[in-house]
Structure formats: C-alpha cells, structure tokens
Amino acid sequence: MSFPQERPRRLRRAERLRALVRETLVTPAQLVYPLFVVPGEGARREIASLPGCFHLSPDQAVREAREVEALGIAGVILFGLPKAKDPLGSEAWDEEGALQQAIRAIRAECRDLLVITDVCLCEYTSHGHCGVLEGEEVRNDPTLELLARMSVSHARAGAHVVAPSDMMDGRVGAIRRGLDAAGFADTAILSYAAKYASAFYGPFRDAAGSAPQFGDRRGYQMDPANVREALREVRLDIEEGADLVMVKPALAYLDVVRAVRAAFDRPVAAYNVSGEYAMVKAAAQHGWIDEERIVREVLTCLRRAGADVILTYHAKDFARWTS
Ligand code: PBG
C-alpha cells in the first residue's frame, strides 16, 4: 500500500492517538539520579557547572534522597568526596567516610529507594587517576584489590548495587569475588562496561574534584572511535559477573547502546553525563531551547536506542514534569 491509501498522518491527528501508538515510554521508575556526597554537616552547595545539583553532606543527602524517592525515581547513584586525598585514595574504603555514612542514613530513611554507589578511586586520589600509580603509569592489577575493598565497604554500609567506573581490566571479577567472600553475594554489580575517554565528563570533574593532575584517562578509558571494542568490554564484564552493563556517555553513543542491547541479554544502562546535562542547562538559561521538551526527547530517544535504565541529572525535573 502506498499514498493515497496509506497516510501515516492519520495516526498523528490527536494526542490520544499518538499516545496510543507510541512505541517507547519513559517513567521515573527507569531513572537513577546522581548525588555528590561531601564530608560535614548541613552542607548543601550548588555545583557551578551542574546547575540544580548540589554537594551534600550525609544529612542533606538523606533529605535529597527522600525527595527523589517521593518523586518515584528508582534510585540514586552516590559519588563520594573525601576529607583528604592521598596517593592510594584510602578514604574510599573508610567505614566512617562521608559516602558510607550517607549510604547507611539513606537506607535507614528511604525504604523504597535503590542505593547504587560509584566505585572509583579518582575522587579519592591526590593525583586524580582511577588507580594506583607507578611513576606516571596507572597500574592495573594492584588497583583491583582496592576497588574490591571499596565495594565491600559500600555493601557493608547497605548499597544494593555497586557500579565500578574505573575501567581497570578484571575489576568486575575482583569485585564479585571480594563481595562474595565478605558475605555480600546479593549485592549486584552495574558495570560501566563501555566507558569512553570523553570530554563530556568536564563538569563532573569540577563537581568531584577529580581531574587528573597530569595526563588524561585515555590509557584506560575507551577510544570514542570504537564500537566492536565496546562489545568485547561488555562481554568480558558479563563473564566476570556484571549484573547490569552501562554505556557512557549516552547521546553521542546511541549506536553503542543499540549494539549492546542487541548483542546481550543483560539490562543495559546509559549514563546521560554531566556535559550533556550542562549543555542543555546552559542553552535553556539563554532561552535558546525549550528545556522540558529537550529533556523529554533526550530520555525518550535513549530508551528507543535500547537503554533499560538511564542515569541522569535531569531525573528530578523529568519526574516533576510527568507527575
Ligand atoms: C569516575 C567517574 C566519572 C564519571 C562517573 N564516574 C568521571 C571520569 O571518569 O572522568 C562521569 C560522570 C559524568 O560526567 O556525569 N571515574
């Protein structure tokens, strides 16, 4: 059939009709909201490069988490900042660290909220790299044990899911073994499996104070030019025990989301990263775009590309607009 019998516009005539035949839906239950936890009490400081997002002390993180829970958002992903940084990032597995306190407090207050934690040393190391240094080299294997220790401390504090974002080889296996040995067989792993060396993380590095002191992350994060390699990374992580796998960043990488969705049977997450958020916010503040429509479009298209789960700084705004 073709025109004039076929008229695709017939199904676009009214919103009820468009909604009826819509192929992709986004709900707050598919979203995860990032929170940045800092040491102290009563601290709630807006992050300049991420308008609407805050540095929160554990008590304030709980308040924020309650709001997130009330909006029907699935969960939070927590990033921790230390009191002091050192070469190994040893506050990362401190039971009394701000992040660990926040995990315990949120678990105690928010019954239905999922608590996911970012596992990476870069916020905790004085040099800002994601692993142990030897000279200017990030060493893979000695880093694994530290990541496992950090994951166990998160699980012990009550994290439902740990999310390693460091891109060391073999870390998912090391974390799985560490969790199991410590009695946390039920703690899930969301692996940042295909994480690219991206300029879209710029605002996050301001937020986390985690810009490397020298060099960059191209020695461990992936080359933006590669997609076959992403499938290999995802396969390795699944073999090592990843329960969910992530593609990051999201918007310039929709083909990667699609390829991972098609090739594997695990839930796929996409991280709509800080630079993607900051660009939308900045253009909206100038009045150059309609923020609500852009955000709805961005999240819908991420789902259409194949993301089951979306990590996004837009989660609260989206949930308010759709409630
Ligand atoms: C830590 C980490 C980063 C992000 C998540 N975990 C920064 C990086 O790898 O440089 C980026 C998140 C964002 O940009 O929103 N390794």
CATH topology of domain 23-322: TIM Barrel (3.20.20)
pLDDT of residue 216: 92
Ranges assigned E (strand) in 94-170: 114-119, 132-134, 137-139, 161-164
Read off the pLDDT band of 210 (50, 70, 90): confident
Residue 128's nearest CA partner among 68, 203, 192, 205 is 205
User: What is the set of active-site residues?
Assistant: 195, 248
- pLDDT at residue 209 is higher than 90: no
pLDDT of residue 77: 98
CA-nearest residue, atom 10 of ligand 1: 201
Cα–Cα distance, 187 to 12 (Å, whole number): 45
Question: For residue 107, how far is its CA from the centre of ligand 1 (angstroms)?
Answer: 24
Residue 246's nearest CA partner among 268, 230, 266 is 268
- pLDDT at residue 206 is higher than 90: no
Ranges assigned E (strand) in the chain: 31-37, 44-47, 50-56, 75-80, 114-119, 132-134, 137-139, 161-164, 188-195, 244-248, 268-272, 309-312
Which ligand 1 atom sits nearest the alpha carbon of residue 166? 16
- Beta strands 188-195 and 161-164, pairing class: parallel
- pLDDT at residue 5 is higher than 90: yes
Cα–Cα distance, 189 to 286 (Å, whole number): 39
Percent of the chain whose pLDDT exceeds 90: 97
251-308 per-position pLDDT tens digit: 999 999 999 999 999 999 999 999 999 999 999 999 999 999 999 999 999 999 999 9
By the 10 Å C-beta count (0-12 exposed, 13-18 middle, 19+ buried), 37 is classed as buried
CA-nearest residue, atom 14 of ligand 1: 201
- Beta strands 50-56 and 44-47, pairing class: antiparallel
The encoded tokens of residue 160 equal: 């439902």
Work out the number of other CB atoms within 10 angstroms of the CB of residue 60.
Answer: 21
Question: For residue 249, how far is its CA from the centre of ligand 1 (angstroms)?
Answer: 9
One-letter amino acid for residue 72 of the chain: G
Cα–Cα distance, 35 to 73 (Å, whole number): 13
118 ligand 1 Cβ < 6 A: yes
pTM of the model: 0.97
For the chain, give the mean pLDDT. Answer: 97
Q: What is the mean pLDDT of residues 162-174?
A: 97
313 ligand 1 Cβ < 6 A: no
28-60 per-position pLDDT tens digit: 999 999 999 999 999 999 999 999 999 999 999
Cα–Cα distance, 87 to 92 (Å, whole number): 12
- Within 8 A by CB and 6+ apart from 235, the residues are 264
Is residue 120 classed as helix, strand or coil in its secondary structure? coil
Q: What is the mean pLDDT of residues 184-209?
A: 96
Task: Delimit the domains of the chain by residue range.
Answer: 23-322
274 ligand 1 Cβ < 6 A: yes
Alpha carbon 177 to chain centroid distance? 23
Which ligand 1 atom sits nearest the alpha carbon of residue 195? 9
Which ligand 1 atom sits nearest the alpha carbon of residue 118? 6
Q: What is the mean pLDDT of residues 77-89?
A: 97
Residue 296's nearest CA partner among 13, 10, 11, 31 is 31
User: How big is the chain, counted in residues?
Assistant: 323
- pLDDT at residue 318 is higher than 90: yes
The torsion of the CA quartet 299, 305, 310, 313, rounded to 10 degrees, works out to: -40
Read off the pLDDT band of 75 (50, 70, 90): very high
- Within 8 A by CB and 6+ apart from 278, the residues are 49, 50, 51, 202, 203
CA-nearest residue, atom 11 of ligand 1: 201
